[in-house]
């Protein structure tokens, strides 16, 4: 039996742990309130167009931590009613074609006219190699100094799907912060062009004029996606080749059926380095916007893109859930063996696993 002294020590201990617990929960409540206040401040900052707040909000979206899921939802749903009011321009081209030089010139031109310009990048290389084709070098040194420009280095993520989602969400945040022109850049390799095409209103393909057949090595799909092809570095000794390339691309574009939106894709020459042709490109984009806004295709395209991203996100989530399912992980190798030894067909096996996953 504990002595009265011990008893009181125990009681003390108990009340100590009580007060410890209540101190901890009080601290937790305080910290939750603090976080909530922080999130509200962050949202207000974004809506006021504060670039630091916008940067922090994008960093929050990019964080993969489950702890932030609710905060991310709050930020996005608060920004959504203020989004969608920009013109989204996709720009693609192989490394070295002059994307950053071009974007800087176009961005400077637009900020001078009073536009607020945000530059985002979709760079699948950063998810593969952890290095980045787009983000690493110091780029757009003049544009970065413009108060009305916001440049966000590449999001890194585990997959192109992840990068795409974050870019889509970042677009919404930039729009909510009052940026009315979005330049979304990607490297002309792999699937990233399709991704950027599916989140922008106008899609620009930057090309170089080279010797020989200009159309070699260019994927048919990319030409089909392009609303304009810009032959960059049309200067000095390149000029002759550039003019030839323009003729070739023009005749290639004519082989495609006319687009329903009333726009026939254009080929333009530019020298981003010398700031030549940039004005023309902007006039062309403005003309395009005028046409598709008046015939309803601007809104149609955005509606289709929203539908695409809805189904895409569902498919991505289902796939992830399927492959992360413990039963599937355990049974998959066995089932695969049975397929290889011709005991069951791949289709039967797929049916079996899908039923097992109970999605
Ligand atoms: P990116 O990798 O596509 O972003 O290409 P950059 O913008 O970094 O440009 C690659 C190189 O090409 C740089 O040395 C630029 O100065 C140069 N460059 C860009 N645009 C032009 C141009 O219009 N004419 C010429 N001659 N060089 C250019």
Closest approach atom of ligand 1 to CA 271: 23
Mean pLDDT of 30-48: 84
Per cent of the chain over pLDDT 90 is: 58
Cα distances (angstroms) measured from residue 357 to each of 136, 215, 319, 339, 351: 41, 46, 11, 19, 10
Q: What is the pLDDT of residue 21?
A: 66
Nearest-10 crossing angle of helices 297-324, 278-294: 90
Q: How confident is the model at residue 130 (pLDDT cuts 50, 70, 90)?
A: very low
Mean pLDDT of 161-190: 89
Q: What is the pLDDT of residue 215?
A: 56
Would the CB of 188 count as within 6 Å of ligand 1?
no
Among 98-102, 139-143, 186-190, name the most confident range. Answer: 98-102
d(CA 204, CA 275): 17
Kindly report the backbone phi and psi dihedral angles of residue 332, in degrees, each rounded to the nearest multiple of 5, phi listed first: -55, -50
Q: How confident is the model at residue 255 (pLDDT cuts 50, 70, 90)?
A: confident
Would the CB of 101 count as within 6 Å of ligand 1?
yes
Q: What is the pLDDT of residue 139?
A: 73
Spacing, Cα 58 to ligand 1 middle (Å): 28
Q: Are strands 228-232 and 149-151 parallel, antiparallel or unpaired?
A: unpaired
Q: What is the CA radius of gyration of the chain?
A: 27
Is the model's pLDDT at 168 over the cut of 50? yes
Of 216 and 74, more confident: 74
Q: What is the pLDDT of residue 212?
A: 46
Spacing, Cα 214 to ligand 1 middle (Å): 19
Q: How many CB atoms lie within 10 A of CB 30?
A: 10
Q: What is the pLDDT of residue 137?
A: 46
Q: How confident is the model at residue 11 (pLDDT cuts 50, 70, 90)?
A: low
Q: How confident is the model at residue 136 (pLDDT cuts 50, 70, 90)?
A: very low
Spacing, Cα 147 to ligand 1 middle (Å): 24
Would the CB of 76 count as within 6 Å of ligand 1?
no
Mean pLDDT of 199-219: 75
Q: What is the pLDDT of residues 216-245, one digit of tens each?
A: 556 667 778 899 999 999 999 999 999 999
Residue to mutate, 92, 93, 96, 271, ligand 1, most ligand atoms under 8 Å from C-beta:
96
Is the model's pLDDT at 158 over the cut of 90? no
Of 129 and 254, more confident: 254
Q: What is the pLDDT of residue 147?
A: 95
Q: How confident is the model at residue 359 (pLDDT cuts 50, 70, 90)?
A: confident
Would the CB of 276 count as within 6 Å of ligand 1?
no
- Tokens representing residue 197 in the block: 């095409």
Mean pLDDT (the chain, rounded): 85
Q: How confident is the model at residue 22 (pLDDT cuts 50, 70, 90)?
A: confident
How is domain 81-295 classified at the CATH fold level? Rossmann fold (3.40.50)
Would the CB of 233 count as within 6 Å of ligand 1?
yes
Would the CB of 273 count as within 6 Å of ligand 1?
yes
Is the model's pLDDT at 306 over the cut of 50? yes
Residue to mutate, 107, 131, 139, 273, ligand 1, most ligand atoms under 8 Å from C-beta:
273
Per cent of the chain over pLDDT 70 is: 82
Q: What is the pLDDT of residue 26?
A: 76
Residue to mutate, 100, 101, 192, 278, ligand 1, most ligand atoms under 8 Å from C-beta:
101
Of 189 and 231, more confident: 231
Is the model's pLDDT at 15 over the cut of 70? no
pTM of the complete model: 0.83
Nearest-10 crossing angle of helices 51-62, 4-47: 120
Mean pLDDT of 288-294: 96
d(CA 327, CA 65): 25
Mean pLDDT of 151-157: 71
Mean pLDDT of 199-215: 79
Q: What is the pLDDT of residue 358?
A: 83
Residue to mutate, 91, 97, 98, ligand 1, most ligand atoms under 8 Å from C-beta:
98
> Which residue has its alpha carbon closest to ligand 1 atom 25?
233
Q: How confident is the model at residue 134 (pLDDT cuts 50, 70, 90)?
A: low
Q: Where are the domains of the chain?
A: 4-76, 81-295, 307-357
Mean pLDDT of 193-208: 91
């Amino acid at each position: 039996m504990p002595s009265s002294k011990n008893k009181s020590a125990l009681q003390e201990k108990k009340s100590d742990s009580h007060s410890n617990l209540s101190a901890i929960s009080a601290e937790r409540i305080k910290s939750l309130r603090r976080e909530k206040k922080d999130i509200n401040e962050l949202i207000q900052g974004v809506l006021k167009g504060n670039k630091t707040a916008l940067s922090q909000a994008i960093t929050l979206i990019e964080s993969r931590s489950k702890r932030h899921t609710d905060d991310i939802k709050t930020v996005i749903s608060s920004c959504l009613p203020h989004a969608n009011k920009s013109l989204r321009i996709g720009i693609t081209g192989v490394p070295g074609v002059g994307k950053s030089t071009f974007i800087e010139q176009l961005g400077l031109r637009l900020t001078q006219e009073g536009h607020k310009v945000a530059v985002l990048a979709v760079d699948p290389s950063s998810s593969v190699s952890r290095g980045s084709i787009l983000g690493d070098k110091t780029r757009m040194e003049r544009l970065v100094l413009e108060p009305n420009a916001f440049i966000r280095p590449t999001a890194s993520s585990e997959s192109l799907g992840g990068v795409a989602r974050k870019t889509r969400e970042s677009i919404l945040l930039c729009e909510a912060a009052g940026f009315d022109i979005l330049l979304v850049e990607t490297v002309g390799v792999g699937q990233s062009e399709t991704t950027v095409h599916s989140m922008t209103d106008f899609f620009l393909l930057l090309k170089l004029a080279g010797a020989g057949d200009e159309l070699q090595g260019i994927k048919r799909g990319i030409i089909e996606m392009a609303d304009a092809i810009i032959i960059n570095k049309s200067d000095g000794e390149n000029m002759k080749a550039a003019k030839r390339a323009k003729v070739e691309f023009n005749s290639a574009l004519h082989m495609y059926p006319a687009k329903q939106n009333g726009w026939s894709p254009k080929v333009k020459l530019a020298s981003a380095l010398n700031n030549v042709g940039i004005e023309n490109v902007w006039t062309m984009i403005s003309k395009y916007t005028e046409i598709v806004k008046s015939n309803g295709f601007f809104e149609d395209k955005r509606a289709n893109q929203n539908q695409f991203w809805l189904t895409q996100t569902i498919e991505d989530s289902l796939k992830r859930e399927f492959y992360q399912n413990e039963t599937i992980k355990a049974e998959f190798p066995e089932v695969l063996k049975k397929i290889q030894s011709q005991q069951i067909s791949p289709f039967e096996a797929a049916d079996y696993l899908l039923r097992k996953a109970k999605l």
